[in-house]
Amino acid sequence: MMSVTSIARNKVLPFLRKSTKMQSTASLSSLVKLEEKQGYAVVSMQKTPVNSLSLEMIQALSQSLIELEKNKCKGIILTSACPGIFSAGLDIREMYQPTDDRLNQFWSSLQTLWLQLYGSKMATVALINGHAPAGGCLLAMCCDSRIMLNGKSKIGLNETKLGIVAPSWFKDTFVNTIGVRQSERALQLGSLFSPEEALKIGLVDKLVPDMETATAVAEAELKEFLQIPGMARYLSKMKIREAAIKDLSETREADLNQFVNFAKTDAVQKGLGLYLQSLAKKN
């Protein structure tokens, strides 16, 4: 296995480890690109058109993190190679008329990815270069810092607009990021925020006017985190995050059952079907 530090600069990493439930190397590596930089890696989601988080995409992200941590990578910038979109969130087609086995794998893989990224020892910066609704916002909130490209994109947890409910660990991540009152309001309303609004409520940390500036700012931000002694930085992060992480770690099975039962209800299936139709009608 090649290490992150041993490959040529900017070369795409082959990053996979064998697992019976995991997809093949070829299919996963086409979804996430890993680029080595000096002392850190850029993780680019590249599932066109909108980086929807399908089972395979979630597993590809998970495998990337496993590989990077195994190779002692100290920090990442998580971003998107899809123009105008960071991530459209969970792939709605995974939840609409699913098979039981796939739905179980899908949610369980998402739990794993959240536990990995939210609890990562690496310093993590999200470079949000486009829309980041729901699961896209969750991915960004799992990072230590969020830099957002200013413009027309929106970010937030809009689940209620689809007739679904953000689970407790989405809520915990939101509360840890923007506080109780803002979360209570935004979760109920399914609010999607402009970059300026997101900055104001602390959902993102910095805005940048263009991609060239964005890359430089994200790199500088990551370096600031990496200058702090790693163990002290990680343990401080855990002071804020460990309760939520412990909670999901101890209730994974119940959370999975709750999700599966909720997703399969007629009301949710009807709502998701209508939402998918409305997305398709746009085009």
Per-residue contact flags (x/-) with ligand LLH4SW3U for residues 159 to 198, judged by CB under 6 A: x--x-xx-x-------------------------------
Q: Which of residues 110-149 bind ligand LLH4SW3U (CB under 6 A)?
A: 131, 133-135
b vs e for 217-250, b when ≥16 Cβ sit within 10 Å of the residue's Cβ? bbbebbeebbeeeeeebbeebeeebeebbeebee
Contact between 214 and 129 (Cβ < 8 Å): yes
Q: Which of residues 219-258 bind ligand LLH4SW3U (CB under 6 A)?
A: 258
Contact between 211 and 84 (Cβ < 8 Å): no
Using the rule CB under 6 A, is 49 a contact of ligand LLH4SW3U?
yes
- The distance of closest approach from Cβ of residue 105 to ligand LLH4SW3U in the complex, given in angstroms and rounded to an integer, is 15
CA distances from 36 to 7, 33, 220, 232 (A): 7, 10, 16, 25
Using the rule CB under 6 A, is 104 a contact of ligand LLH4SW3U?
no
DSSP 3-state of 76: strand
- The distance of closest approach from Cβ of residue 214 to ligand LLH4SW3U in the complex, given in angstroms and rounded to an integer, is 19
DSSP 3-state of 148: strand
Contact between 127 and 147 (Cβ < 8 Å): yes
Q: Which of residues 64-103 bind ligand LLH4SW3U (CB under 6 A)?
A: 84-85, 88-93
Binding site for ligand LLH4SW3U (CB under 6 A): 49-50, 52, 84-85, 88-93, 131, 133-135, 158-159, 162, 164-165, 167, 258-259, 262-263, 279-280, 282-283
